[in-house]
Amino acid sequence: MRTTFRNEWFANTRLNTELKSQQILNVIKRNNVLKDKHHIAIFKSIHFEPNAQLIIDAYPEKNFYVPKVIDRKSRHMEFVLHSDHKIRYSTFDLIFVPGVSFDKFGNRLGYGGGFYDTFLANYVNVHKYGIIFKEFVSNLELPSEPHDVKVDYVITQNGITVCKNDIITEL
């Protein structure tokens, strides 16, 4: 399943990726997702993920933290201030989560390493937002295992889906 989604990613052009990333940023702004949020965990974009740097650049007054792998064997990663990788942080107001795919129930198909599931398990009471292009939101429920951590919201260039408590709402 990961291979199918990854192949679709590579069909996207860089221009298309930037345009849709800007549209995702507009959805975040329009819905005041970052209002009253000061310490935000965010991913470093890879492949054809939405450009997370656009979000960081749009909110210079916020503190954004990016992942740094500490130990691959134990799947341990820490988050460091994006502008100064020496400053670690572990108390977040909101977490932006990457993925290969999400579904409308908040299930996430990651890259298979387990790093985010290990990290997210420690943040039960923090809102988790999956950020992905609409094309990679699965119409079917993605497979999940007991250790998988769901996101509360999925943001695409078309809007926000609320996935909390098995209630699905489009904003």
| Higher local confidence (pLDDT), 95 or 7 | 95
| Higher local confidence (pLDDT), 76 or 28 | 28
Residues of the chain with pLDDT > 90, as a percent, come to: 57
The answer to whether residue 166 scores a pLDDT higher than 60 is no
Q: Is 123 exposed, middle or buried (0-12, 13-18, 19+ CB in 10 A)?
A: middle
pLDDT mean over 72-81? 85
pLDDT for res 8: 67
Of 17-31, 64-78, 96-110, least confident by mean pLDDT is: 64-78
Using DSSP, state whether 79 is helix, strand or coil. strand
- Where residue 83 falls (left for φ over 0; alpha for ψ -120 to 50; beta otherwise) is alpha
Model confidence pLDDT, tens digit, residues 144-163: 888 889 999 999 999 999 99
The answer to whether residue 82 scores a pLDDT higher than 80 is yes
CATH topology of domain 2-170: Rossmann fold (3.40.50)
Domain ranges of the chain: 2-170
pLDDT for res 54: 97
What's the whole-number average pLDDT of the chain? 88
pLDDT for res 87: 77
pLDDT for res 97: 96
pLDDT for res 168: 53
With the CA atoms of 138, 136, 117 and 114 taken in that order, what torsion angle do they form, in degrees rounded to the nearest 10?
110
- C-alpha gyration radius of the chain: 15
Q: How far apart are CA 29 and CA 58, in angstroms?
A: 9
| Higher local confidence (pLDDT), 1 or 25 | 25
The answer to whether residue 69 scores a pLDDT higher than 60 is yes
